[in-house]
Homo-oligomer: A and B are copies of this chain.
Amino acid sequence: MAGSCFADRLGGWIALTSGERAALARLEERERRLRRGAMLVRENERIPELFVLQQGMMMSHVLLDDGSRQILRFHFPGELLAMPGLAYRESPETIAALGDCVVAPFDRSLMTDLVVHHPRLAAAMVVIAQMERTMSTDRLAAIGRTSAKARVAALLLELRDRLQESCGAGEKKASFTPGVTQEEIGDATGLTAVHVNRMLRQMEEERLIARDNGRMTLLDEGRLRRAASYVNRLDGLDLGWLPPPAQRD
């Protein structure tokens, strides 16, 4: 029975006790399937539950008055969804499936139990929130102050790194399938689909990337990384302050 996607991801950072694993498994007792394009949570609507993404890729976005869309974050298996529900009555963002997905819905009250009985997991929630905040501010700086090409490059690197992490792959592969359209890349980077296309072509001509069908290969990752001033926020963690696991386990 699958264990827990979220526990598997956390387990990559800290050694979980069996008691902690049991508590996390409770978050994923139910499951819900979503078709490509389905909305899980809608902007400005009440947030009934939180979710663990088990399979597939999703995104959070907002729609502006003029109909344009800003994608705030892509989500990969093992991540928690709708976390703003821990602060707000209504969702500040829409969460939708990029492809067919499976999510596990759970009630906020389970989070209450977690915080009370498993302080170390509570601390892990704080850590995750800080990581997400940092990735969000990285994107902010990219959109505010870097060129179109740099933004696209940064997004490609981020997608590659997060894709690989969620697959639990060992070493980094230069080749991967982004799984997002050029329009989605544009909505994530604050560009138009047309301009994203031109930037990809330009990067192809400069031998920074190669494309074949939906597949993409990073030909010169060092140069790409510098051009984008990209930092992988899945690295460089320091969890030394986390408390020891709860005693009762």
Segment 46-68 of A: residues with Cβ below 8 Å from B = 60, 62, 64-65, 68
Q: Within the complex, what minimum Cβ distance (angstroms) separates A124 from chain B?
A: 10
Segment 113-172 of A: residues with Cβ below 8 Å from B = 115-116, 119, 122-123, 125-127, 129-134, 136-141, 143-146
Q: Within the complex, what minimum Cβ distance (angstroms) separates A111 from chain B?
A: 6
Number of interface residues of A (CB under 8 A): 59
Asked if B84 contacts A130 (CB within 8 A), the reply is yes
Report the Cα distance A239→B119, complex, angstroms.
19
Report the Cα distance A60→B109, complex, angstroms.
34
Report the Cα distance A167→B111, complex, angstroms.
32
In the complex, whether A112 has a CB less than 8 A from a CB of chain B is: yes
From B93, B115, B233, A92 is in contact (CB under 8 Å) with: B233
Report the Cα distance A227→B88, complex, angstroms.
23
